[in-house]
Each structure stands twice: as C-alpha cells, then as structure tokens.
Structure 1
Amino acid sequence: MSRFEKKVLDYVHSNIDKIYLIIVVLISLVIRFDVRADNSNYDINTFLINWYDELKARGGLKGLGTPIPNCNYNFLYMTIIALMTYLPWGAMTSYKLLSMIFDYLLGIVVARFVYELTDHNKKVNAYLAFTIVIMSPLVISNSAVWGQCDSIYVFFVIISLLCLYKSRFILSFVLLGLAFSFKLQAVFILPFYLFYYFYKQRYSIFHFLIIPLIMEISAIPSILAGRDILDTFRVYIGQTGNWPVTASNYPTFWYIFFRDEKYSSYETMNSLMVLTTVFVILMYIYLWVHKKIEIDAHKFIMIAYLLSFTCVMFLPSMHDRYAYMVEMLGIILVFMDYKMFPVIVILNCITMATYGNFLFYSTANIRDLSWLNFGVYLIGAVYINLMLSKEDLRRGYEKRI
C-alpha cells in the first residue's frame, strides 16, 4: 500500500461518520430531485396548485382574509403557501421543497430521539435512524412525489414527544399545538398524552389549553387579514365531514367487512367505528393502569405507537397517508426493540402499496391488505402487552423473593 493510500484510508477511518452522512444525504437528494419535477397527481392539480394560484391572484398574504374554495387545511399552512407565492419558482416546486426540507428535519429529530432513548451504540443507532427516515420510499413518495405535508406535522409530533419524555411539558404542548396547526391527524397522538397525564400525573389538564392557544397564535396573519377567530377550529370541524367513507384507500379493520363506494355504510357505521376506537383505547389504559406498569423509554414509545395505531386502525374515513406518524414511531420503536423490525417493515410496505394505488395506478387489493394490516396491528398489540405483562410479573417475582 502506498503512503498516499494509507493517508486516504486513515482519513476515511477517522471521519467515517461524516463521510457516511454526506454520502447518504447526497444520494437522498439526488433521488428526491430526480422524482420531484415530473411527478404530478390529482391532489396537486386539484387542490394544492389551485390554492397557490388563488392566493397569488389575491396578492399573497392579503388573500388570507377570505376562505379558499375546497381548502380544508388550517391557517398556518395557508400562511406558508401565501409566502411561497413570493418565491421565483412555481407552485409544485415550492410545495415539494417545503416538504423535503421537513423530511430531513424529521430525520434529525427521529435520530435524536433514538440517541436519547437507547443505551448502547447511541451514535450508530442515531445515524441509522436518520438514514432510514430520509431514504424511506414512503417518506420520499410522500414529499418529493406527492407534495404532501405529513413530514411537517409529524416532525412537530415527534419532537413534542421527545420534550414530553424529558419533562419539558410546556414546550411539548407548544410543539403539539404547532402540529395541530398543520394537520388534524395530530389528534392520533392525543390519547397517549391523555394517558400519560392520567398515569404519570406530571402536568396539569390546563396544559392541554396550550394547543388551541398555539393554533390561534399561528392563525394571526389570517385573523388580521379578516378571518374569524373561531375559523381556526371550524376548519377541522368541517373537515371531519368532508370524506363520509368508512375508509379511503387505507386498509383499516372495517375494510375487511365492506368497501362502500356509495358511502351508505359510513352513515350506518360511523358511531360504531368511533366508539369501538374509544373502547379499545380505554381497554388498553385500564390494563396498563391495573398492572401499574413502569413507563421507561422502551414502554414510552411502545404505548405511543400502539395508541396512535389504534386510532388509524379503527376510526372512520382513514386515508392512505394517515398512518405516517405511526410509521415514524415504528422506526424509533425498532431501535428500542429489534423484535418489532419485521412488523414495522410490513407496516411500511402495506402503506407503500396504498401509495402505489393513488400515485402510480397500481392495483393492490385493499381488502387483502386490510387483513394483513390488522394482523400486523394484532401482532404488535399482543407483543407490546406481553412485554408490559412480563415486566409486571418480573417485579412481582422479585417482591416474593
């Protein structure tokens, strides 16, 4: 080996972390910019670009004062869209660049979560978690191909959970309020916050008022432009009735029994689906409270994952992108418990199949995927509860001896 080769290899060895990250980020950027330009879809053409064009025609921020037709997103996202109209490039590029930026921010916060919660190989685990997020076909498809903002609200949900775990409660609720300011689907993490409040008794019920307060603060540009102060909440109240279907291209538990394109099943089953979700969540909480589980880092993520997945699995009107938060929590969970790896891989593959139906006109059978998805949910739920029971039995055994 020549002296030059030796120096090069020594440099690589001593800087392997930086070199690895640079290569991974470059590859992920090439993929994103390769797929972003030529990929249009129904959502972009029918909704996103129309919102952008409407705001631009009204003068950008000046146009926030009146409702935009067919728009069911909240004011913070609309303010960002209004700001994007001042940029020198077009609507599709603006939407996708915004979401892609948050892909990397999401990767960073997931990596930080993994770093904080794991005991061994913390740096390596964090780098791998970051890689999995930014290279995930699901994440790339959602932002660079679809132009959706799921990485934005999930970024705020994940970082809010990290703050909650570290007992930074006010900051946690501020960040959760920002998540709600972007998408109503942040509500899927609320059962965990309620359980944690009830079980740990570490913060006040009044902390939850921070969420609507932050939503109102984030809506100030729209309110100053002329919108009513209560419109922040009316947007989401109206959104719950926009898609009166049992499920929309997402394989929920109810898709096993029927897929009603004429929506009649929704009217009949809506209350049952909501109440079933509440029942399952309450059943879990009762079991965990009864067992007096000790919530360490492992159980913190396990419970957050299971409760949010329960919402997606049993609530009505679930869409293909609504499990995004569950899938990101699953990535963190894998680093806490490697036995969940096959479950999380299959979960992500199921969602990618539904993405394919919408984005690439594939023909994945949603009913078959529903059986598989419910099986994945059950395996995870049984395993998580067995792990909690195992810890409870271990503590009981130690007391006896």
Structure 2
Amino acid sequence: MRWSVIALIVVAAIAIRLPFLHFQTLDYQKFLSRWYDTLDQGGFSALKHKFADYNYPYLYLIWVLTALHIPSLIGIKAISIVFDVVLGFFAYRIAALRTQNFWIRALAFALVVLLPSVVANSAYWGQADAIYSAFALGGVYFLMRPNPLSDGLSRSDAWWACVFFGLAVSFKLQAVFIFPVLIWLVLRRYLPWYSLIAIPVVYLLADIPALAVGAPVKTVLSVYLDQADSNKSLTLGAANLYQLIPISGDVTWLAHAGIAAAALVIIAFLAWSWFARPGVTATSILVVTTAAAVIVPFLLPNMHDRYFYMAEVLTVVMAFYLPMRYWIMPILVQAAAIGVYHSSLTGDQGRGFGGMNGGGPGTMGQNGPGTPPTGQTTGAAGQSANGQHDFRGGGPGSGSPEQRGFTADHRQGGFGGGGRRAGSAYSSGRGDTALTVYASFMAAAALGMIATVVQTCRRRT
C-alpha cells in the first residue's frame, strides 16, 4: 500500500507537469538548447571549449541526453523532474526522522514534489535548481541522522553529508547559502572538521572528465568566478531586500553593505551559539539551515529570481518539525516565489501563466510585463532589436564560444528597467510594485526565521 501511495503521488506530479513540457522559455531558446546543440555536434570533447558557464556536471547530463538521442526540450526538463522526485525522497526521509507515521512522511513527499515553484522551475522553466537542492537536502538529512553512540555525527554520516554538499556546489554555486550551518556544527564539535575536505575533493573530481578532454585548468576552476563577475545589480528579479529600497544611480556601496550585513548575521549567530551553547539537535540543524537559505540571499546583492529555491523547499520540510503556527513560513516564502515566477515567466522569459503577449510553443512574447525596453544595452555581445541577447549559432564553428554559450543565469535583466550593465558599478535593478510586495513577504519570512532560530536553539532537546 505504501509503495502504491508513493507511486500515485509521483504519477500525479508527472501529470501536473505534462501540460508545461512543450513551453520554450527565453533561457531554453537562447542558452540551454544551444548548449545541447554544441554537445550534440561536438560530442563530449566539445567540453574543452568554453561554450557555457554552468559548471561541468550539468553539462555532462546534457551530453548524456545527446548520446541517447533524447530531444533537448523534453530531456532537459526530464532531468530536473527526476531530481524533483529526489527532493521529495529526502523530504520523506527527513520527515521519517521525526515520525514513524507513514501518512505524514507521504505528505512531506507530496508537498515538495507538488509545490508550485518546484513544478514551475522544472516543467515550465527547465531550470536545474532541483539538482543542487536535492543534493543539499541529502546533505542535511545525513547531518540530522541520530548517532546512538555519541552526541556528534557518526563518521560515515559526516562524510556522506559533506559528499552531498560537494555534489550540490558542483552543480550550482547557490548551494553555499546554507554552508554556514557546517561552520556552526564544526564549532560545536558536532561535525568533524576533517570531513569538510570531502566538499572540495568532490568538486574537483566532478571536473576531471572536462579536464581529461582538454578543458583548460584556469577555465575549469574559474567558472563560478566568472558567474559572480557577470552581473552588477542589487537584485535581478529576486524578492530580496533591494526591492524594498527606492534608490538609483551607482549603488555599489549598498551592494558592499549587503554583503557585509550577510557576513555579520552569520558571525553574530556563530558568536551567540559559541557563548550560549544551545543544544544541537536534528530540529535546530534543520531550522538553522532553513534560516540560512532564506536570510543569506535576502541580504546579498546580485540575486536572481530563482535563488530562493532551497528556501522554498526547506521551509516546507522544516514545518514538519515545528508547531502548526510555523506553517506561516512556507506560506510566506511560497507566496513570494509564485509571484516572482509569474513576473519572470510573463516578462523576460517571454510568456507564461496567461501572460501579456505570450506566444505559443516555440515563440516568445515581446515587451510583456518586465521585458526590457527597446534598445536597452548591456555589456554582453549581441542583442536583438528589442533589447534581448542575440547570440548567433549554436554549434562548434558558429560564432565565438562566448557568443554561443552565454549562460542562462546571465540573461537580460528587465525587471522595471534594472537590467545588467557593463563595468564595476552596481545599479538598483528594482522591479515594479508587485515585486516589492513579494519582497515584503520574504522580509517577513526572514524576520520570522530569525525568531525561529532563537526559539529553537534555546531548547536543549
């Protein structure tokens, strides 16, 4: 019966996703499909060229699609949908650490795989956020597993947790949002410091296949540095703090202040934990991890619309460990996520959810809500007449590698005139009134998470 219930949930999740599988967003047409074409034409050895700046493990998965002759649109979305189920699996396992009631565990699984933002991210947008988040959630699961022999983790669970975190950061840099929990657990002598070695080791091992076919070492090791330097806006469609601050001009000082604020919040928590010595429990580990996933991207500048993905999942999982009133957290975060996704998928992504001027399959609407104004410039090579990037050619020998492979995270800004700009100065990037409302939801969630951490960590059990 239990297997039947889980299978039914998976079937329902797939059925809900099916109507969205034929939609092609801007990210797919301009970037993901071209990465597929490059690997399809050049084979695995095409990885020696820099045609994309997602890290290599994701490109390996796309290459597998080409080797199996799976169509690009369906295949790219199918990869993410598979990891939606993996997310649900780890939500089930974490709930199982709390209760033996199958129905509660099944509910955790169902809520995660059926979350509107999770469905939209994989089936509609075709993004890879489920992949790194699934590995991150797996790492959290191993951190939370009880050790009957001591107060700390078992050695095997410590290593497995860090292996999973290494896999997470190998796919997306955004996995580091929750890494403060590792520092906390090392300081509290719950997690052996030497187990952290597994994270860079796994990351480097994941890049070996690309190095083996001739990718330059400098290129391989600088993927995330290139990503960090590519955008200079306080917010790129994210429902973070900077949607709430009406400011324009060169706001580099505010970007630096936001980075400092995020660092100070982490340091303040670590210092408080060191002196107050609150209990380290499965619940406190989950709550602190969730708080990091909410607060860190809320304070950091240069955040994209999808960078609260881990928060969207973790707040749901966390709610199974806390009293019923804490369900307000996932509700606030999901409300912000749905709004942001609607803004993106009806704006710079071209269409979606009945958006203005939305096109049918294979087309992109023009100048819908949030679409960049005509003639807006960026520092990237090539643009179409309406201000969108125009990279010509998708395969080897067709345009420069940089033109062929500009990353999907580097698409045109376009949230109320806050697009990307060349140079080192930060611009505001603020969106319309709707994005300000969504940011207020996330601000309430961030404040609520601070209170939740304090209340949870004060408990000794």
Spell out, residue by residue over 1:10-63, the C-alpha distance to the aligned partner (whole angstroms, 9 max, x if none).
Answer: xxxxx3x344333322221111122112x11111111111111122221x2021
Kindly indicate whether residue 84 of structure 2 is the aligned counterpart of residue 129 of structure 1: no
Which residue pairs with 2:205 in the alignment?
Answer: 217
Distance between the aligned counterparts of 1:161 and 1:232, measured in 2?
Answer: 27
Alignment of 1:225-240 (within 5 A): 225-240=213-228
Q: Which residue in 1 is equivalent to 2:80?
A: 99
**In structure 1, distance between residues paired with 2:161 and 2:167:** 10
**Normalising by structure 2, what TM-score?**
0.76
> Does residue 53 of structure 1 match 2:37?
yes
SS at match of 1:257: coil
Where in structure 2 are the equivalents of 1:218-367 lying within 5 Å? Answer: 218-258=206-246, 260=248, 264-265=250-251, 267-337=252-322, 338-361=324-347, 365-367=434-436
Of the three residues 180, 183, 186, the one matched with 1:191 is 180
1:203 matches 2:192: yes
Describe the SS at the equivalent of 1:354. helix
2:27 alignment partner in structure 1? 43
Q: Which has the higher helix share?
A: 1
Name the CA shift for 1:207/1:232 in 2 (closer, same or farther; >3 Å). Answer: farther
Amino acid at match of 2:309: Y
Amino acid at match of 1:373: M
Matching residue within 137, 154, 160 for 1:158: 137
Whether the 8 Å CA contact 1:216–1:229 is kept in 2: the answer is no
Over 3 Å counting, the alpha-carbon distance change for 1:322 and 1:259 in structure 2 is farther
C-alpha separation between the residues in 2 aligned to 1:27 and 1:319?
A: 30
Q: Measure how far apart 1:214 and its partner are.
A: 1.1
Alignment partners' CA distance in 2, 1:250 and 1:162 = 27
Distance 2:319 2:282 in 1: 13
Which residues of structure 2 form unaligned runs of 5+? Answer: 146-152, 348-354, 356-368, 370-432
CA distance in 2, matches of 1:280, 1:25: 39
Which secondary structure state, in structure 2, belongs to the residue aligned with residue 148 of structure 1? coil
**How far apart are residue 201 of structure 1 and its match?**
4.7
CA shift for structure 1 position 301: 0.7
- Secondary structure of the residue aligned to 1:172 is helix
What is the identity, as a one-letter code, of the residue corresponding to 1:294? G
- Please report how far the alpha carbon of residue 74 of structure 1 lies from its aligned counterpart in structure 2 after TM superposition: 0.5
Secondary structure at the counterpart of residue 94 of structure 1: helix
Deviation at 1:259, TM superposition (A): 6.1
- Partner Cα separation in structure 1 for residue 160 and residue 8 of structure 2: 34
Q: Deviations over 1:284-310 (max 9, x none)?
A: 222222221011121111111112222
Shifted more, 224-233 versus 293-302: the winner is: 224-233
Q: Distance in 1 between matches of 2:286 and 2:189?
A: 15
Higher RCO, 1 vs 2 (CA within 8 Å, ≥6 residues apart):
2
Match of 1:339, as an amino acid? R
The aligned residue for residue 8 of structure 1 is none
Residue deviations 1:261-316 (CA, integer Å, cap 9, x gap): x7x32x33222111110001111222222221011121111111112222111011
Shift of 1:190: 1.0
Contact between 1:61 and 1:83, CA under 8 Å: does it hold in 2?
no
Distance 1:18 1:207, change over 3 A: closer
Using the TM superposition, give the Cα deviation of residue 368 of structure 1 relative to its aligned residue in structure 2, in angstroms.
2.3
